[in-house]
Structure 1
Amino acid sequence: MLKKLLPFEELVYRSTFTKEELIAHLQNEIEAEKSFGLGANRFSYSKPYIGKVYQNRFEIKKAINYRNSFLPVIKGEITDDINGSKINIKMGLIDFVKAFMILWLGGVSIACLAVLYNIIFGEGLNSETGIFMLIPFFMLIVGIVMVSFGFKFESRKSIIDLEEILKAKIVQ
């Protein structure tokens, strides 16, 4: 259950293509990123994924025309296998977003603990401060839902897309 909420995925695909064929195919299926991504410029891409391939590794993300800070970064490693190749995939958040959300959710969690302490050992909930004391809990729930939904919505699409792009099937 917890794994379904966390913003990461680890998958293994198998392809009948050799490692070299798959790397060449992958280079034709993705496009280089045109910008840093933080500016107001909107670029259009001719391919559905952007990123780079280097040796037997790649790092890609979906080329979208809307904002989603929780868009998965897909890192993969292609290795030779008995009848083709094996692709190990890790999807996760951008490092900056991951650090920001850890700090934000950590701070809000501490506030929730302080409120609980105050409720249990302090004056409890009263009509004047009761609703305001629930704000940290609301922020925690909204933050978790925002990260989970934003990431999982896109990762589910990418899992399916990767089968086509990699000419492979999920084995794990």
Structure 2
Amino acid sequence: MKILPIEKLTLVSNLSKSEVLEELSSNTRPTQSLSFGSPKVENAKLFHGTIYEDSFNIKRVIDYRNSFLPEVNGKVIEKTNGTEIEIELKPVSLVMAFMIIWLGGVSFAFITALIGAITGESPLQISLIPLGMLLIGFGMLKFGFSTETEKTKNNIIKILKAKVK
């Protein structure tokens, strides 16, 4: 079981490197600072972020809040019969840091409560509270990230006419 929700995969497209970057550019708008959600617009771009000469850093445009929306870092590599796109999907660094601190603190509380129950200093039921918080934290991280990751991957695969390698 993966603890940190980071997914890496390689896509293969028949498009050239320049066509891949052009498709990404035409479907990506610059990141707006302090945006509080995007209104649904008929011809809105699918992503926001930055496209470089041979790489990109994008996130899917959504009209709701989701802290677990994956950040996509990609590298475009020209091959003889098409293009490979190496992508890494992960939560934003601030969310990852918060979840590591949260899950670490709750794990410490669970272990402390469990030791207290084993030594007889506290009832065993007390350890169920941090255990529940730990399970809820992992569940939020896993569910929130995996549902958004699938949508993001499908959008990228569709616009780049790619297949997973």
Judge same fold: TM > 0.5, yes or no. yes
Structure 2 residue runs without a partner (length 5+): none
Say whether the 8 Å CA contact 2:59–2:72 is kept in structure 1: yes
Corresponding residue number in structure 1 for 2:71: 73
Give the TM-score normalised by the residue count of structure 2: 0.91
Counterpart amino acid of residue 164 in structure 2: I
- Aligned equivalents of 2:49 and 2:10: distance in 1? 20
Say whether the 8 Å CA contact 2:113–2:122 is kept in structure 1: no
- Aligned equivalents of 1:57 and 1:71: distance in 2? 20
Pairwise CA distance, 1:87: 0.3
Corresponding residue number in structure 1 for 2:88: 90
The alignment covers a number of residue pairs equal to: 162
- Look up the SS of the partner of 1:138 in the other structure: helix
Correspondent of 1:113 among 108, 111, 114:
111
1:42 aligns with 2:37: yes
- Look up the SS of the partner of 2:33 in the other structure: coil
- Aligned equivalents of 1:8 and 1:117: distance in 2? 32
Say whether the 8 Å CA contact 1:73–1:92 is kept in structure 2: yes
* Runs of 4+ with deviation above 6 angstroms: none
Corresponding residue number in structure 2 for 1:20: 18
Corresponding residue number in structure 1 for 2:62: 64
Pairwise CA distance, 1:124: 5.1
1:165 aligns with 2:159: yes
- Aligned equivalents of 1:36 and 1:29: distance in 2? 21
Query: Cα RMSD over matched residues?
Result: 1.6
